[in-house]
Structures are given as structure tokens and as C-alpha cells.
Amino acid sequence: MKQVNKVFIFFRKISWALIVAFMLGVHNFYKQEMDSPDTIVSSIEIDAEEEDSTPKL
């Protein structure tokens, strides 16, 4: 029974580590996409211009 408990604890720690590593990887990907406030402002301005240029019915 002790071996089963040790194996369970091992897999629980490994799964926790993999989940944390995945979340950090996703966070770093999005942080690199929008890394400065200037790029965020420019992307908002571009989106606003695209919305304004659509023809209104």
C-alpha cells in the first residue's frame, strides 16, 4: 500500500509541475505578443480604424 501511495504522490507532483509549466508558457507567449503599451495602443487604434471604414447600411 505504501508503494501505491508513493506512486500516486509522484504522479500528482509531476502533473502539477506540467500544469504550471504549461501556464507559464502560455503567459510568456501572450506577454511577448503585447509587450509594450505602445503596441497595445496602436493595435486598439488600428481596430478602431477598421471598424470605422466598414460601410454602414
Q: Give the pLDDT confidence score for residue 31 in this predicted structure.
A: 62
Domains in the chain: how many in total? 1
Q: Which domain holds residue 33?
A: 2-52
Q: Which parts of the chain register pLDDT below 50?
A: none
Residue at 19 is within a domain: yes
Residue at 44 is within a domain: yes
Q: Give the pLDDT confidence score for residue 40 in this predicted structure.
A: 58
Q: Give the pLDDT confidence score for residue 41 in this predicted structure.
A: 63
Q: Give the pLDDT confidence score for residue 15 in this predicted structure.
A: 95
Residue at 57 is within a domain: no
Residue at 45 is within a domain: yes
Does this model's pTM top 0.75? no
Label each residue of 1-57 as H, E or C: CHHHHHHHHHHHHHHHHHHHHHHHHHHHHHHHHCCCHHHHHHHHHHHHHHHHCCCCC
Q: Give the pLDDT confidence score for residue 54 in this predicted structure.
A: 56
